[in-house]
Each structure stands twice: as structure tokens, then as C-alpha cells.
């Protein structure tokens, strides 16, 4: 079978975004538009992807998170045909060449795969995706003859009044035979209203060589929605969000208020998990079965086991074991490994720490740079004093320790197995096994003090 390669056009400025950031880097559910397009291209079988960059090229290159992408530079934006020419040797005569735009993030792999199939089965020189829209203003129009066969594409600015009445538009997505693309690009000129090299003209040029050219009408117009403004960005985000939420619900996840739940496209959620309203779940987050998340939780690159409750809290780049409860109002910062049946309660911050199974941190604590064992009780107000003003140090708390309320453990320090720390202590030296450590002034009672004061 022929190879498939993809060229993604992303050199334009996108001035209507009114942004310092190039348009294609604007994000939907925490992923840039161009990354969606690259992933979709790869997902439908494109072995190699080339992104044509121009406007703020360096920023676009750096902003793309997908791997294994090559770049071509279009220093001056002289039209879509010119942009494709810049891909140069990437255009392979023996491959099929798919052309996509970096600002159409809603396109799906299934649709593209079908397009490739039609293109190959019918032996087209080029296949373009068209769409029937209510308001075709601004788009290129698909011109057909009386028999309904494709003839050419006329850009809005070059179209006559009658041509402008046509409501079948060019979505800008194509599969070309590599050789036909190369040959037709060589014949392009810029004799048109915009003085640009139009990729759309390649279709007529290929048709004129006797090859079959067809426009396939898209079933779901949403997929070809191009984002040009922030309003359209929000519209595209709505569609993406609905699509993702629907997929999870179909897989057995309860989403109580889908309109108010924002789940990234790479998130994995197990069956019978319930997502309460107001959650943002993003990046490579993986949530197990039978969990309850929310309301109003934010999870970024988190891994939750089964049966976890994650109530009204924030978690970043950390792992949480089975049947652990978090929140409300907890803050799990990066690189925490929290075990099974742990309680991380209200107003608890955990950072860069390991917490063993069955340990409880029920309220108002800071656990930073700490290796905590199993079945520890951290009393209210436990603070791991990890910073000496210059450097961070680690605290070790072994299995079964009881840390009394309002205790400070000044790192580096170790509290050995089974010991108790008296409430209000500031511990600066290692504590051996099975002892009570008290590090605070003794209470004194002054008799007659009130009398004297009077």
C-alpha cells in the first residue's frame, strides 16, 4: 500500500485572535490546536508529518508538543499553494499527501481515514472535503457542472455574484497523489484577486490532465470548523468538550453536569467513576474505577487508583492509591506518591513526598519533601519545615508515628518507628523508636498572679 504523509499549514498570522501568541498554539482543553491536528494526522496513518510555519515560526516550533514532526519555513505568506511548495522534498511522488490546516482542531481520524480510502479506491488525482453551509461568505466555492461533477474551486474574492450563491464550500482538507501535487504546484500562478498562489487551483490543473478529482461532502460540518477568533475558539472548545464527555459517558463514567465539566482528550477514566460539576481534568490524567471527583476539582497529569474520593481539591503530577480520600481544599503538588487508604484532609498541602498506606493527615498541614511511612497520624497543624532559607531538606517519618498537633519537624530530621511527638513540639534532632519526644517549654502555673494584678 502507498504511504501517507501529512502537511499541516500553520504559517498564517491569525490576526483576528488579537494575540501575542500564534493562532495555532491557542489551546482547547489544555492542548494546542495544531497538536490536535498533528495527533489526528498520525492517528489516521500519516507516517510523517510536516508543519509549515512562518509567522512567529520559532514560537510555533517550540510550542508544538507532539514528537517526530518536521518543519518547513514559509518566510512570506504568499498563499496556501505557496505554503505547500515550501514543504519541498517532503512531497513524495510515490505517497499520498494529506493537507490539513493547523487551525481546524475538530477533524477526526475516522473521517480522514475514510477520505483516504475513497481517494485510493476511486483512483483520484486529488480528493477534497467540501461542506454545505448556510453562510458560505469568505470560503472557496466548489463549482460543479450540470452533471454534478467537480470542476474547480473559486475563492470568494474571485467569485462572481452567481458563483457566490453556491453554498458548497471548500473545507481546505485534501488528499493528493504526491506526483499530481508536485506537478500541479509547478504550474500555479498568482493571477487572482489576492495575488496569492492558491492551492485550490491545483485541483483544476489536475483535472485538466485527465485525472479524476472529486469533492466529498462532509457529513459532520463541525469537524471542519476553522478557528479564526477567540469566539470561534470557545465554540470549538464546546464541541470538543461535548465530544470527550460523551465518550466517557458511553464508557460508563457518570458526568453529573457535562456542560460544566472540562476533560482533556488524553484523560482516561474507569467505569462507575462519578465526576461532579465544575471539574477540570487535564493532561495525561488517569482515574481508576469507582472514584468520586469534585465538585470543583482540578487534576493535571494525575494518577488516581480505584475508589478514590477527590473532593474540591487540586492535584498536579502525582499518584494516589486506592480508596484514598483527598480534600476538601487539599493541594497536591508535583511528585507525590500517596498510598492506599490515606486521608489527605482539608487545607492540607503535600509536595514532593511519599505517603505510606493508611496514613492520615486530616487537616491543616504542610507535608513537603517528606518520606512518610504507613499508618502515621499527622495531627492538625503538622508542619514539615523543609526550607532553611537556602536549601530544601527531607524529613523522614517512619511507620506508626503519631505527630501531635501543631508540631514542627525541622528537616533534615528522622522520626523512627512508633514514636510520639508531643503537641506543639519543634523537633530538630532525630527521634529514636518508640519514645515520646517533647520539645517545648514546660507549662508553669503562677499562683496569686491575678490577685497581685488587681
Question: From the list 19, 30, 66, 77, which residue makes contact with ligand UD1 (rule: CB under 6 A)?
Answer: 77
Residue (102 or 125) nearer to ligand UD1, CB: 102
Grid coordinates standing for 128? 477534497
- Grid cell locating 260: 460544566
Q: Which of 5, 31, 56, 78 is in the footprint of ligand UD1 by CB under 6 A? A: 78
Contact positions with ligand UD1 (CB under 6 A) in 6-65: 9-12, 52, 54
Binding mask 134-163 for ligand UD1 (x = CB under 6 A): -----xx------------x-x--------
Q: Which residues from 69-128 bind Ca ion, rule CB under 5 A?
A: none
Please tell me whether residue 199 binds ligand UD1 under the rule CB under 6 A: yes
- Compute CA distances 308 → 104, 296, 336, whole Å: 37, 15, 15
Q: One of 55, 119, 124, 363 is an active-site residue; which one?
A: 363
Instruction: Report the residue number whose CB is nearest to Ca ion.
Output: 226
Q: Are strands 343-351 and 360-368 parallel, antiparallel or unpaired?
A: parallel
Tell me, yes or no, if 363 is annotated catalytic.
yes
* H-helix segments, 161-319: 161-164, 178-185, 201-208, 230-250
Out of 150, 174, 176, 198, the residue judged to bind ligand UD1 by CB under 6 A: 198
Sole residue written with cell 497581685: 452
Size of interface with ligand UD1, in residues (CB under 6 A): 28
Bond preceding residue 144 cis, omega within 30 of 0: no
Q: How far apart are CA 101 and CA 11, in angstroms?
A: 10
Binding to ligand UD1 (CB under 6 A): which residues in 337-376?
Answer: none
- Residue with Cβ nearer ligand UD1 (56 or 248): 56
CA distance 216 to 174: 10
DSSP string covering 82-106, please? HHHHTTGGGS-TTSEEEEEETT-TT
What does 325 interact with, of Ca ion, ligand UD1, none (CB < 5 to 8 A by kind)? none
The angle at the Cα of 21, spanning 17 to 22, to the nearest 5 degrees, equals: 75
Q: How far is CA 295 from CA 95, 280, 305, 362, 443, in A?
A: 50, 10, 18, 19, 44
Partner in contact with 9, chosen from Ca ion, ligand UD1, none, beta carbon below 5 to 8 Å by kind = ligand UD1
x-marked contacts with Ca ion along 218-257 as a string, rule CB under 5 A: --------x-------------------------------
Residues that bind ligand UD1 (CB under 6 A): 9-12, 52, 54, 74, 77-80, 82-83, 101-103, 139-140, 153, 155, 169-172, 198-200, 226
Residues that bind Ca ion (CB under 5 A): 226
Query: So which residues are the catalytic ones?
Result: 363
Amino acid at each position: 500500500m502507498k504511504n501517507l504523509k501529512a502537511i499541516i499549514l500553520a504559517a498564517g498570522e491569525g490576526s483576528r485572535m488579537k494575540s501575542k501568541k500564534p493562532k495555532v498554539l491557542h489551546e482547547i482543553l489544555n492542548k494546542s490546536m495544531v497538536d490536535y491536528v498533528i495527533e489526528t494526522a498520525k492517528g489516521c496513518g500519516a507516517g510523517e508529518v510536516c508543519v509549515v510555519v512562518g509567522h512567529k515560526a520559532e514560537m510555533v516550533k517550540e510550542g508544538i508538543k507532539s514528537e517526530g514532526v518536521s518543519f518547513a519555513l514559509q518566510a512570506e505568506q504568499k498563499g496556501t499553494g505557496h505554503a505547500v511548495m515550501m514543504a519541498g522534498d517532503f512531497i513524495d511522488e510515490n505517497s499520498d499527501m494529506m493537507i490539513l490546516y493547523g487551525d481546524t482542531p475538530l477533524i477526526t481520524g475516522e473521517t480522514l481515514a475514510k477520505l483516504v480510502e475513497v481517494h485510493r479506491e476511486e483512483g483520484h488525482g486529488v480528493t477534497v472535503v467540501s461542506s454545505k453551509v448556510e453562510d458560505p461568505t469568505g470560503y472557496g466555492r466548489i463549482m460543479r457542472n450540470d452533471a454534478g461533477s467537480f470542476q474547480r474551486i473559486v475563492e470568494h474574492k474571485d467569485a462572481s455574484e452567481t458563483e457566490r450563491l453556491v453554498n458548497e464550500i471548500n473545507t481546505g482538507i485534501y488528499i493528493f497523489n504526491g506526483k499530481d501535487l508536485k506537478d500541479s504546484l509547478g504550474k500555479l500562478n498568482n493571477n487572482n484577486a489576492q495575488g496569492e498562489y492558491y492551492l485550490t487551483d491545483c485541483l483544476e490543473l489536475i483535472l485538466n490532465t485527465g485525472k479524476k478529482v472529486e469533492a466529498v461532502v462532509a457529513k459532520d460540518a463541525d469537524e471542519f470548523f476553522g478557528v479564526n477568533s477567540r469566539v470561534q475558539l470557545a465554540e470549538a472548545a464546546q464541541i470538543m468538550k461535548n465530544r470527550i464527555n460523551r465518550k466517557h459517558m458511553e464508557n460508563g463514567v457518570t458526568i453529573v453536569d457535562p456542560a460544566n465539566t472540562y476533560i482533556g482528550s488524553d484523560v482516561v477514566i474507569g467505569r462507575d467513576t462519578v465526576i461532579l460539576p465544575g471539574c477540570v481534568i487535564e493532561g495525561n490524567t488517569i482515574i481508576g474505577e469507582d472514584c468520586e471527583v469534585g465538585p470543583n476539582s482540578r487534576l493535571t497529569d494525575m494518577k488516581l487508583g480505584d475508589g478514590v474520593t477527590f473532593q474540591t481539591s487540586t492535584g498536579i503530577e502525582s499518584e494516589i492509591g486506592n480508596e484514598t480520600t483527598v480534600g476538601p481544599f487539599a493541594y497536591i503538588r508535583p511528585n507525590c506518591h500517596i498510598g492506599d487508604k490515606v486521608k489527605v484532609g482539608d487545607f492540607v498541602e503535600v509536595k514532593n513526598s511519599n505517603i505510606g498506606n493508611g496514613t492520615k493527615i486530616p487537616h491543616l498541614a504542610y507535608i513537603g519533601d517528606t518520606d512518610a511511612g504507613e499508618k502515621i497520624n499527622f495531627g492538625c497543624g503538622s508542619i514539615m519545615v523543609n526550607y532553611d532559607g537556602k536549601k530544601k531538606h527531607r524529613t523522614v517519618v517512619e511507620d506508626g508515628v503519631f505527630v501531635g498537633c501543631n508540631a514542627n519537624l525541622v528537616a533534615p530530621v528522622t522520626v523512627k518507628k512508633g514514636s510520639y511527638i508531643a503537641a506543639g513540639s519543634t523537633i530538630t534532632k532525630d527521634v529514636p523508636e518508640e519514645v515520646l519526644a517533647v520539645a517545648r517549654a514546660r507549662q508553669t502555673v503562677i499562683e496569686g498572679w491575678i490577685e497581685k494584678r488587681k
